[in-house]
Structure 1
Amino acid sequence: MELLSSSFEERAEKRQKEIEVCLAGEQLRQRLHNAKQIRNLVVNRFTYPCSLVAKDVVTWLIKFKEAPDRETAINIMQKFMEHNIIHHVCDQHSTFKDAKLLYRFRNDDGTLLPTTETRIMNRSQQIYEMMTSKEDSILKVREEGSKRYRRTFLGSQMLDWLTKHFVVPGRLDGETLCRGMLEQGIIQPVNGHYHFSDSDRVYQFRINFRRRRKLIEVLDESNPWLEPMQESPDSPFCLRKLGAELPQCGFVCASDPNPEPPPLPKRPSTMGSEFCYSLYSPPKPVASLPSVLKKPVTLEELLAPGAPYIRKTLSIDADALGWGFIARGTGPCHIQAVDARSPAAAAGVKIRQFILSVNEINCLELEYCVIHKLIVSGPQKLILEVLEPID
């Protein structure tokens, strides 16, 4: 049994390292977008969307003290290539070179293939964001023996929370999800017994999704993420937290003494930048837009047998300005407006549709501002499940 637990722990720690590299890569991607290091580049009359120049990024990493020298900066970017986070735009180079070559993040060009591991990571991140955004969060600091553990919860408490917020349909589904999170090194039991159970056993999020990563950490072959020094779950440099409050193109690096966010871009539409589910602006107050619903609809009416609604699953890939739609409501939420030229419109999003789930997270009882946080903290590819009224 001890050998089995040791092997399980080793696999979980290895997977945790991989997730930390992915999170560091995603934070770097957002910062490079904000710094305009990622942009549409033209070479020999051919446009390469959302690309970066390797030599310029190496210089940028040194300028903002993410690497002490060019060799270290190259090694950091090479680590992201080895983890399939970035690649050469034509896949002609398998290594990252300090030259005027173009590379791209796979999360920008849609070549990041979804796997069971990435789905569990994305769901875990969304759950963590939901939990930490609530004042009555179940994540607590607890003492076990002589040690203090942050971000802890009870097994039964987690399943209560998952079912209460419709993240999973039942407790057995919740146990399956939590076992997957444990196997991926996202959560861990504080007592070292490596299995998840519906009990009063104490578990901990071993990954703080809100922590800002130092890029040089990805080169550390040990595990620098187990208990980071001076870690704060509400760090002012938390990219996921700031993502819903600042323009993506205006993220301020900690070492920038004079931040000057550029003006917000506008989609070529009469509705301009009004759409809250963009990469740039937070949701506006409900009162700013009169409801498009013909009459209020309750959750019971929406889910009643024979209700006049069709269930649809829509896949929306964000463009440079976001997804291009607005949702409103306090649960259930509905689609309030759709930009006719946006990815949302192309995917089939329509006004008066009701939102069932966002990236497999049940949203029927969530307010629109919580749904907004789920969307902007998730991947560029949005999976939206809706109920469309039958006219």
Structure 2
Amino acid sequence: MERTSSIRLKAMARQHKAEVMIAGEQLRLRLHDGKLIKDRRYHFRTYPNCFVAHELTDWLVSHKEAADRATAASLMQHLMDHDILHHVCDKRAEFKDAKLLYRFRKDDGTFPFNTEVKIFMRGQQLYEQLIADKNSILQLREEHGVTYKRSFPGCQLIDYLIQNGEADSRRQGLELCRALQEHGIIQHVGKKHDFFDSGLLYQFCINFRRRRRLSELLTENEQVNDEAVMASTQEDNNSESPFLLRRNSSKERNRAFSVSSNKDSKQITGGRRSSLSSLQFHSAGFPPLQLLSHPAVRCNPKSVLKRKVTCEELLAPGAPFIKKVLTVIGDALGWGFVVRGMAPCYMQAVDPGSPAAAAGVKVK
């Protein structure tokens, strides 16, 4: 449940980021058309393609994009927080309703084209191509008795990518489509499946051509934050979590632990049986353990690695490592392993009687 919630929150955050980028670009084009963005001179220096903050605030209020000047400033601050615009000299991290010059990063080439942005732009380009195509694969289709507008089978999208030179092979096309799904650009129509090269139906989550109202950005941001707070609260209050441990005071010296449960408890000294859905993959790699002794404490188990290993070392020719693919089919209790680390990840613990152990997964 925790991992599902985490994935949903990441998807919401990425989709909100996409909406901010689209709204920012639409605003930039409107300001260029309205001549608010132009070359300006200040202290014997010319700043190209910039605007005056208080003039933009006037424009936002007069065009009913913001209810008042304070809301307008909050909207522009939101764009600054997402690297859409910045102060021309980067001396200010906040947007002030004053005679200060700001500029859209796309107008001066400082927009951060990271992997997330590149995938977003790839998705936008693909959307525009499919909308403009007379024989577009975006059609009214039915799956399990439900009709979906502008949907497409996964296999047809991969066919389109290969035919139009967007992918060299079906495997490359599948990787691109899964990246688009991961970044909240496309999704299964029923939100039940990952992307597969099959007849399952998918849709674009984002209508890139829809006109965005800037006031929607703050509302969406509040919704994302509220979801994050709720997920965090549910995680903290989850007394059934397999990661809630109680120290056994009678065996304090050997540092044994017992699993807290409403029905019974059992001693454990090594890896625990747990569901992969309760793992959180972040920089620390392993969720904090909550010790239910008198003072509540959070801690991480000691790493099983004797030394740090890099991805380059693992993949280097002649390295003493074997690449092997293992398929773990979970049962009612989960998969039975704990993953830690980041680039690369590694096994922290494996339950001896779990599906992971049966598949050959080992602690290394």
What's the TM-score once normalised by structure 1's chain length? Answer: 0.55
Deviations 1:197-245 (CA, angstroms, capped at 9, x unpaired): 10011111000111111111111136999xxxxxxxxxxxxxxxxxxxx
Match of 1:350 in 2: none
Q: Which runs of 5+ in 2 are unaligned?
A: 225-364
Question: Are residue 62 (structure 1) and residue 61 (structure 2) matched?
Answer: yes
> One-letter code of the match for 1:112?
F
User: How far 1:146 sits from its partner (Å)?
Assistant: 7.0
Over 3 Å counting, the alpha-carbon distance change for 1:223 and 1:139 in structure 2 is: farther
The C-alpha deviation readout for 1:5-54, integer Å capped at 9, x for no partner, is 44323311210111110110011011101111100000011000110000
Which moves more between the two structures, 58-67 or 134-143? Answer: 134-143
Distance 1:19 1:59 in 2: 26
- Residue number in structure 2 paired with 1:150: 149
Secondary structure of the 2:220 match is coil
Query: How many Å apart are 1:133 and its aligned residue?
Result: 0.4
Larger radius of gyration: 2
Aligned to 2:96: 97
User: Mapping of 1:49-198 within 5 angstroms?
Assistant: 49-144=48-143, 148-198=147-197
Separation in 1 of the partners of 2:91 and 2:142? 52
2:193 & 2:85 partners in 1: Cα distance? 33
* 1:220 and 2:228 matched: no
Partner of 2:261: none
The 1-side partners of 2:128 and 2:15 are apart by: 18
8 Å contact kept, 1:138–1:153: yes
Report the secondary structure of 2:49's partner residue: strand
Measure how far apart 1:63 and its partner are: 1.3
**1:1-391, aligned counterparts within 5 Å?**
4-144=3-143, 148-221=147-220
Change beyond 3 A, Cα 1:74–1:222: closer
Q: 1:60–1:147: structure 2 CA closer, same or farther, 3 Å change rule?
A: farther
Question: How far off is 1:117 after superposition?
Answer: 0.6
1:71 is displaced (CA, Å) by 1.1
Contact conserved, 1:76 with 1:219, CA < 8 A, in 2? yes
* SS of structure 2 residue aligned to 1:221: helix
What secondary structure is seen at the aligned counterpart in 2 of 1:135? coil
Instruction: Tell me by how many angstroms 1:115 deviates.
Output: 0.5
Which deviations, in whole Å up to 9, do the C-alpha atoms of 1:137-177 show, x marking residues without a partner? 11123344575533311110100111111111111111110
**Residue of structure 1 equivalent to 2:356:** none
Q: Hey, what's the Cα distance between the residues in 2 that align with 1:40 and 1:28?
A: 18
Native 8 Å contact 2:139 2:149 kept in 1: yes
Q: In the superposition, relative to structure 1, how do residues 70 and 145 fare at CA in structure 2: closer, same or farther (>3 Å)?
A: farther
Paired residues of 1:53 and 1:101 also in contact (CA < 8 A): yes
Asked if 2 retains the 8 angstrom alpha-carbon contact of 1:141 and 1:148, the reply is yes
TM-score (norm 2): 0.59
The change in CA–CA distance for 1:172 and 1:223 in structure 2 (over 3 A counts) is: farther
SS state at 1:188 partner: strand
Instruction: Measure how far apart 1:194 and its partner are.
Output: 4.2
Q: How big is each residue's C-alpha offset from its partner over 1:93-127, in whole Å with a ceiling of 9 and x where there is no partner?
A: 11111101000011111111210011111111111
Question: Would you say the 8 A contact 1:156–1:199 is kept in 2?
Answer: yes
CA contact (8 A) 2:36 2:51 kept: yes
| AA aligned opposite 2:6 | S
Structure 1: 5+ residue stretches without partners: 226-391
1:198 is paired with a residue whose SS is: coil
Return the alpha-carbon distance in structure 1 between the equivalents of residues 166 and 222 of structure 2: 30
Q: Closer, same or farther in 2 for the Cα pair 1:222/1:84, shift >3 Å?
A: closer
Report if aligned partners of 2:12, 2:184 keep a CA contact under 8 Å in 1.
yes
Aligned in 2, Cα 1:112/1:68: closer, same or farther, shift over 3 Å?
Answer: same
Contact 1:17 1:223 in 2 (8 A): no
Counterpart residue type for residue 221 of structure 1: E
SS of equivalent residue, structure 1 residue 166 = coil
Task: Write the distance in 1 (CA, Å) between the matches of 2:170 and 2:50.
Answer: 44
Q: State the SS of the aligned residue for 2:156.
A: helix
CA-based RMSD: 1.9
Amino acid corresponding to residue 78 of structure 1 in structure 2: Q
